[in-house]
Structure 1
Amino acid sequence: MANDRKYLIFEDVKNDSSLRNIFDECVGDILEDKARLSKTRNQSGYPSYECFRIQGREILVNAAFEYYLFKIGGADFDYDIAVLFTEKMRKLCGWSWDVDVTLRYWVERTVRNPFFEEIKNDEGYREWKLKAGEPSWELPESYLRFACYIAVCNVKYKGGDGQYQAGEIFKIVTALGSKLPADLKKNGSGDLPLGVRQYKNDIVTCTANDVFATIRISVKEESEEAYRQVLDFLYQLLSFGFPASYSVKFSSPEKTWLPIKSLPKKGIHQLFANAVKWPALYPKIEEYAKLAMKEFEWYNDLEAEYCAMPGTFAVFALGLLGEAYHPLVCDYLSTCDGEHQSVQGDFVLAYIENYGFTEKGLELYNLCDQNIQHLPKKLSTLYAKRK
């Protein structure tokens, strides 16, 4: 059936040099922003794929991308040209399967497989170890830079899974003797202006690294002004395109926790339990929550049963104040990934224990029930006993 296929894949141009002019024209259109996405024609036995139409032929998106990366390979591989083309593809297709998988295969084929062998660690998980003996050739620095660029893109556009994949790439590049990952860990990607990723004065210190999606905040005095500055830093950082999944390391003189059983006692929890003491900060807390809430994104330092969507603790802190922030809480309960997150059940339980099954309390209960794997047993019991 493969011989009946009408669209072109990368193997076609590898095996038939006469197709290069069609692929080159496609690449030229992408570089000149003339390319337009289409769908392969209906064909019995084949699904429809995204493609480019050139001279009456259909070239799959990943085939055009793979062809270009293959074409510019070699000892004179140009990092800037590779990034330029990748950015064209990303803007044209988004961080789609075609872009993501093509780049992942490029890393495996070019950077990993020639130098590493697969082993199993003591827990039985797969790891990669440098092959014994001296390699017959070395990768130019431009290859390692492009691999790190791919890792950074994974963090920016793929959330938690992307951060894991980025970490694997950084391990490989570091094992090959490069200092690039260490520099990225220290300084970030360089895409964030210094004034966005760092803020420091006598009462607060805030730093952020977009490559590793980490935010560090230290408050030296408990005051409304200190938390105002922290919230302003967070809002500006997220507005500038910081990764939507991230971890927050927070420290302050006072450790306060929200009156919700089972919530993890982590820094991000402490931050909003402290900040909500000042009513003047409520609008800023709400602004942060609305900006941070994104389905399938996470606070990366919360795991297992404690996993939570960004904005969680800001929403909970405001939600426990009563009905004033009811719309915000409803938006949160409708947005969070109920297949993997359950802390919202603990919040609704605390709310019902405080305010009862009022009209709004019942609405929160129903929204939570519709978007969670299992309600807390006590919450279900209270609902069953309500009058």
Structure 2
Amino acid sequence: MSHPSIQPADASRMREQALDWFVRRRGEAFGAREEQAFQDWLAADPLHREAFERWGGEWQAFDAIPQDMRNLLQRNLAYDRAMEAASPAGTPAMPAMPSRRRVLVPAVAVAAVVAVAAGTGLLAWNHWEAQPVFVQAMATRRGQQLDVPLPDGSRLRLDTATRLEISYYRQRREVRLLEGQAAFSVQGDPARPFHVLAGPLRITVVGTRFFVRHTPDIAGSEGVHVAVEEGRVRVGQAARGAGTEADLLLSPGQQVSSNAQGALSAVSPVSSAGLAPWRDHRVRFDNQRLDRALAELARYGDPRLVIADPAVAALPITGVFDPRDMATFRRVLPASLPVRLKETEGGAAEVVLAR
């Protein structure tokens, strides 16, 4: 029996739909309602069944994929299911066709893997290499910190007001720090280096513990700061790619900073206490301008202190403070600088010169 000819775009869409259904039917949450929707899809066109059965044959090639890659794919699918379960109450459990937002990303990754195992050539291999096997976005609210375990045993700790994106590929691991600061404890894997992209910089490691800060919206702190606690870290401009001669190699107890354009400072020592005091809910100021100190405290909460006088803004402040305890900071401030607090409406105060 011959079938009516179909256009390439229709064939591609049909194959994609068949793969979506194939992946969903192998999941744990596929119930009677979903099965009925699947049977309706099969009955709508004889070519649907052919496309679905073709995927069944090709899926056997999945057994040729290394176990670690299959584990990462399964973790990614499990994360998607967890995000779906956390969606607001009342969201439909299953539409008539699988949701592309929830299914298509892992489905495309699986499709690329199957294509490689089936030996469809260099193009399929390159496509597979370019697909992330684990993707996650994380963010903390103002005043919040968060510990994040990763699939390979690495761990992140996010400070307040921090956003980052995690992407694991077959031959590399990548974290893009959009803003804020984070501590990285990286599980060693020479076959898959770990890259942190922060503003204009790329930080590359194999296994180590280090800290990165990127706060582009804070005056005076628009660049990137990197400090190493354990292991070695290579720091360079992201635009040049990894492993160039211009990169700097940091050892334990060393730090480096850049400006917003990526120009690196000289490498300098850093004490263990100065590596990342935010882990212990502390902020450290060393002759910092008062207005920039208040901007840093504002990352953790509203200090309810304002400055209108440029002379007050430029006053230097030194000390270690708990950003959660602004009452103590208010008491210490007039004793540390020639200022007083002028109360305003709503419990806020203006910092003015003492007369």
Structure with higher strand content: 2
* Alignment TM-score > 0.5, same fold: no
TM-score (structure 2 length as normaliser): 0.30
TM-score (structure 1 length as normaliser): 0.28
